[in-house]
Amino acid sequence: MSLLEVEDLRTYFYTEGGIVQAVDGVSFEVGRGETIGLVGESGAGKSVTVKSLLGLINPPGKVVDGSVRFDGRDLTECTERELRQEVRGSEISFVFQDPMSALNPVFTVGHQIAEIVEYHTDRSEKEAHERAVELLDDVGIPDPEQRADQYPHEFSGGMRQRALIAMALSCSPKLIIADEPTTALDVTIQAQILDLFDEIQEKYDTSVVYVTHDLGVVREVCDRVAVMYLGKVVEHAPYEELYRNPKHPYTQSLLRSVVRPDERADALNPIEGTMPSAIDPPSGCRFRTRCPVAVDDCARIEPPRIDVGPNHDSACILYKDEYGKMEEPTLHERGQR
C-alpha cells in the first residue's frame, strides 16, 4: 500500500466571478521513501492540490470531492483538530517557497526547531536543543551550535531554506510536501538545496511531494512525475520515462521549453498562448486551445488517463488503446524532423 493515495480530488473556489475549478479530479500516489514531482505552469493547481491534502483550503475554497488516504487514514474525513494535532507538522510537514514567512523573526532558529522537537517527543528542553543543533548540522549549516543561537534575519536566503527544512524534519515526518522550495533562490543555492533533498531522503527515508513549475528541477530529485494542466493530471510516469518518452502534447511542449545546460537560452521554446481561466475551462480536453495537434473531437471528449506504458499514463484522445498508438504525429516527433 502506498503511503499517500489521492483519488479524484476536486477543490473549487466559489468566487463572485464564478466557480474556479482549481483542482478537478486529481489522482496520484506516493510510495514510502519515494519522491514525486507535481509539475505544471503557474495556475495549474499544484499548490491548491497540496494544500487540499492537509485541509488548508479556506473559504471561498472547498474540497468538494475525492479522498486522500494517508497511511491508511482518509484525511478528508478528519476534523481540523485531528489534522492539527495528529497530522500537520508531525506526520506530514511542509516546506514553502518563502522561508521568511514560515520562520518567526523574534525567536532564534535553534529555539524554533527545538520547540517542535519538544512538542512532538518526550525530550527535555536541553535534549531538544541538542537535537536542533544536530538537525542544523544535517541540513548542511556550518557551525550549527553558533547558528542555532542566531535569528532568521542573520541567515542568508539559502540558509533560511535549510533551516526550514531542518524544521520540517524535526518531527520525523513520513511525508514532506515541498512547494517550490527553491524558486526564490539563485541557481547555485538551488542546486545545493536539491542535493540536500536527495541526502535527506537517503538518511531519513522520507517520502516527498515536490511541487515545481520547472522540469529541470524535477530531474534532480523526483522518482516519478505527475504533470498538471488546468486542474488535471495530464501525464504521469517515472521521470526517466517521461523525459525520454513524453506522450502528452503538453508534456512535450514543456520539455521543449526546458533549457538544458548545453543549450543557449535562445533555444528556449515556450508554449504558445496562456492557460485559460479555471472558471470556465475549455470543454473536452482543457489543453485543446493551445494544443498543436488538436482535432475536432478534442472539444467533445474529455480524455481519460490511459496507460501508455508501464507505470505511465497520459490523458489525450489520440491514444486509443493500452500502450497507446498515436493517430497523429506528435509535436515532439514533428519538432525532431
Ligand X SMILES: Nc1ncnc2c1ncn2[C@@H]1O[C@H](COP(=O)(O)OP(=O)(O)OP(=O)(O)O)[C@@H](O)[C@H]1O
- State the pairing for strand pair 312-314/232-238: antiparallel
Residue span 264-303 as binding mask against ligand X, x where in contact by CB under 6 A, dash where not: --------------x-------------------------
Which residue in this structure is represented by grid cell 514553502?
A: 96
Distances, alpha carbon 60 to alpha carbons 19, 78, 99, 157, in Å: 10, 20, 26, 33
Amino acid at 46: K
What residue 75 binds from ligand X, ligand SF4, Mg ion, none (CB within 5 to 8 A, per partner kind)?
Answer: none
Nearer to ligand SF4, 19 or 326 (CB): 326
Q: What does the alpha-carbon distance between residue 245 and residue 309 come to, in Å, rounded to a whole number?
A: 10
Alpha helices in 205-318 (DSSP H): 215-221, 239-244, 249-256
State which of residues 1, 42, 80, 337 lies at the interface with ligand X (CB under 6 A).
Answer: 42
Q: Residues interacting with ligand SF4, by CB under 6 A?
A: 248-249, 285, 287-288, 291, 293-294, 298, 303, 316-318
Residues 70/175, Cβ–Cβ less than 8 Å = yes
Neighbours of 14 (CB within 10 A): 12
Which residue in this structure is represented by grid cell 471528449?
A: 301
Distances, alpha carbon 182 to alpha carbons 20, 43, 284, 289, in Å: 28, 18, 34, 31
Nearer to Mg ion, 177 or 317 (CB): 177
47 binds Mg ion (CB under 5 A): yes
What residue 303 binds from ligand SF4, ligand X, Mg ion, none (CB within 5 to 8 A, per partner kind)?
Answer: ligand SF4
Give the shortest CB-14-to-ligand X separation in angstroms.
9
Nearer to Mg ion, 58 or 336 (CB): 58
State which of residues 61, 152, 181, 246 lies at the interface with ligand X (CB under 6 A).
Answer: 61
Question: Please, which of residues 204-243 interact with ligand X by CB under 6 A?
Answer: 213
What residue 44 binds from Mg ion, ligand X, ligand SF4, none (CB within 5 to 8 A, per partner kind)?
Answer: ligand X
Q: Across-strand partners of 295? A: none
Binding site for Mg ion (CB under 5 A): 47
